């Protein structure tokens, strides 16, 4: 089977063609990885792909550069290493849940949901990107990951939320734990009555939920559940049964060799568990000495180990350095530009370097997007790579303009506040200056339609 639907996500069973081969995305993990299993992922990436392992914004592991859409090789290798890779509707959870006090094990819950969904034939009746989140209430719960249906396990029951993140979801009530599978099937069946494009998440999300409420008679109306404690994905993690910490992959990607070396160090030090996490992070737990040693070695390998590292707030694809669609070496330019752009990268905004108008590295809007076009780049303000540009210039010139904006940030002013104060006209003046609208080729190239500034 080949991946031919742009409205569906790639998977290990159905990889997606990209500019550097095929991309296979592992399903969300229900259990933590051992250091040896992390090594197995790196070996599979080196053996079957181009040696690049990614963790996505949602916390999914991806292997890049497969020679064909046949991913049976890496699938077999990962299964032999003991990874539980059940295909089906994406159900994101927290593989470190075993380190929470009083938290249920997510693995049997996810297995029961997948079995029921498969038996009901639900996948053919709902939109391809419908996704679920299990929030077990711990310090590393995926509260910021958007989903169509959220299941938040709390002392008073399992709260059901429709659409969005924990903060933005519509919380409709609680059910008993033993009713979770039946309630999920009922909600998704009611959603399917609105057609195979209907979602609870996204800009076209279903707003009338009266039929949904009627479909779940066991639902008890209560208020929204308490949100898990907010914490950055990088740095020490408190509140678990073992010491733990998080690092992040720069721009979401790591070389297989570096990942193997990290896993070997962790194994020798005594780390017991790894878990990919949202915001391109990799969490690990074990004895305090093992966590400290692994974090220190991760820093020496170039991983992000500090919460204020400016690279956390930059997104970039490989660009022309490794993708046929790229118009400039996006990741290399982003990495080189991070120190100069640090005043803008305070966590209040994100900047996206997109090699082309597809915007694969950051599908959501960013404060600034440099989107590759013929011979240059378009600058998009508060939008996606395909959106209307405020001007066109070389990528290097746009970076220099953004550096000037950062230098204009006042003391104790966030980057977002500074951008609002400077305004659109000031941003154009700082970044485009001459106002070139034809510098980099024509908007609306093969990357997709773009509106000119």
- Binning the chain into helix, strand and coil, the percentages to the nearest 5 are 35, 20, 45
Question: CA-CA distances (angstroms) from residue 282 to 38, 122, 346, 358, 388?
Answer: 10, 32, 21, 26, 34
Confidence at residue 203, expressed as pLDDT on a 0 to 100 scale:
66
Q: What is the CATH number of domain 235-307?
A: 3.30.70
Would you list the DSSP string of 145-188? S--SEEEEEETTEEEEEESS-TTTSEEEEEE-GGGHHHHHHHHH
Domain boundaries, the chain: 101-135+144-227, 235-307, 311-431
Q: For residue 448, is pLDDT > 90?
A: no
**pLDDT exceeds 90 at position 1:** no
DSSP classification of residue 406: H
Residue 196 token pair: 């195979």
**Containing H/E element for 392?**
strand 389-393
In whole angstroms, what is the distance from residue 414 CA to residue 103 CA? Answer: 37
- 308-329, pLDDT tens digit by residue? 999 999 999 999 998 889 999 9
Measure the CA angle with vertex 108, ends 206 and 216; round to 5°.
35
Q: Tens digits of per-residue pLDDT, 122-163?
A: 999 999 989 999 999 889 999 999 999 999 999 999 999 999
Go through 109-136 and write b for each residue having 16 or more CB atoms within 10 A of its CB, e for each that does not. bbeebbeebeeeebeebbbeebbbbbbb
Whole-model pTM?
0.89
The average pLDDT across 229-235 equals 87
At 38, list the tokens: 């992390």
- The Cα 33–Cα 405 span in angstroms is 42
Beta pairing class for 21-25 and 61-66: antiparallel
pLDDT digits (tens, 9 = 90+) for 247-269: 999 999 999 999 999 999 999 99
Q: What average pLDDT does the chain have?
A: 90
The more confidently predicted of residues 19 and 156 is 156
pLDDT at 208: 82
Q: Which helix (H) or strand (E) holds 314?
A: strand 314-316
SS3 state of residue 70: coil
Helix axes 330-341, 395-407, angle to 10 degrees: 20
Please report which confidence band the pLDDT of residue 7 belongs to, taking 50, 70 and 90 as the band edges: low
- In tens, the pLDDT along 326-356 reads 999 999 999 999 999 999 999 999 999 999 9
Instruction: Supply the CATH classification number for the domain 311-431.
Output: 3.30.413.10
pLDDT tens for each residue of 397-437:
999 999 999 999 999 999 999 999 999 999 999 998 744 44
User: Greater confidence, 20 or 53?
Assistant: 53
pLDDT tens digits, 201-225: 876 788 788 888 999 999 999 999 9
Flag whether pLDDT at 453 surpasses 70: no
Using the predicted structure, report yes or no on whether residue 10 has a pLDDT greater than 60: yes
Band (95; pLDDT cuts 50, 70, 90): confident
- DSSP label of 59: S
Q: Supply the pLDDT for residue 439.
A: 37
Of 26, 28, 32, which is closest to residue 271 (Cα–Cα)? 32
């Amino acid at each position: 089977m080949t991946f031919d639907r742009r409205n569906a996500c790639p998977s290990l069973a159905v990889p997606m063609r990209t500019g550097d081969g095929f991309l296979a995305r592992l399903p969300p993990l229900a259990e933590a990885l051992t250091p040896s299993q992390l090594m197995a992922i790196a070996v599979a990436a080196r053996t079957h792909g181009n040696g690049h392992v990614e963790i996505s914004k949602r916390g999914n592991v991806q292997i890049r550069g497969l020679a064909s859409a046949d991913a049976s090789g890496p699938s077999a290798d990962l299964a032999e290493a003991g990874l539980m890779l059940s295909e089906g509707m994406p159900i994101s959870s927290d593989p470190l849940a075993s380190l929470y006090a009083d938290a249920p094990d997510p693995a049997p819950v996810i297995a029961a949901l997948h079995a029921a969904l498969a038996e009901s034939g639900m996948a053919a009746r709902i939109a391809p990107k419908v996704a679920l989140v299990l929030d077990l209430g711990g310090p590393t719960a995926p509260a910021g990951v958007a989903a169509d249906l959220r299941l938040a396990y709390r002392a008073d029951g399992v709260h059901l939320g429709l659409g969005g993140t924990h903060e933005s979801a519509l919380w409709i009530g609680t059910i008993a734990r033993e009713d979770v599978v039946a309630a999920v099937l009922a909600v998704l069946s009611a959603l399917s009555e609105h057609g195979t494009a209907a979602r609870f998440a996204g800009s076209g999300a279903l707003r009338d939920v009266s039929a949904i409420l009627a479909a779940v008679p066991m639902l008890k109306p209560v208020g929204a559940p308490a949100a898990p404690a907010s914490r950055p994905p990088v740095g020490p993690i408190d509140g678990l049964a073992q010491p733990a910490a998080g690092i992040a992959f720069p721009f979401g990607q790591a070389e297989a060799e570096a990942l193997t070396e990290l896993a070997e160090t962790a194994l020798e030090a005594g780390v017991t568990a790894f878990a990919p996490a949202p915001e391109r992070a990799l969490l690990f737990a074990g004895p305090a000495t093992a966590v400290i040693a692994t974090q220190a070695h991760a820093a020496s390998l170039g991983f992000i180990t500090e919460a204020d590292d400016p690279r956390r707030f930059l997104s970039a694809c490989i660009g022309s350095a490794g993708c046929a669609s790229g118009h400039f070496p996006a990741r290399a330019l982003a990495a080189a530009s991070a120190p100069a752009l640090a005043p803008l990268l305070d966590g209040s905004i994100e900047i996206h370097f997109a090699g082309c108008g597809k915007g694969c590295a950051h599908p959501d809007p960013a404060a600034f997007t440099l989107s590759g076009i013929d011979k240059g780049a378009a600058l998009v303000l508060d939008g996606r790579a395909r959106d209307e540009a405020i001007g066109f210039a070389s990528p290097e010139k746009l970076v220099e303009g953004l550096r000037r904006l950062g230098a204009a940030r006042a003391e104790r002013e966030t980057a977002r506040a500074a951008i609002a104060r400077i305004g659109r006209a000031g941003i154009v003046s700082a970044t485009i200056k001459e106002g070139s609208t034809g510098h980099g080729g024509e908007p609306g190239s093969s990357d997709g339609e773009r509106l000119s500034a």
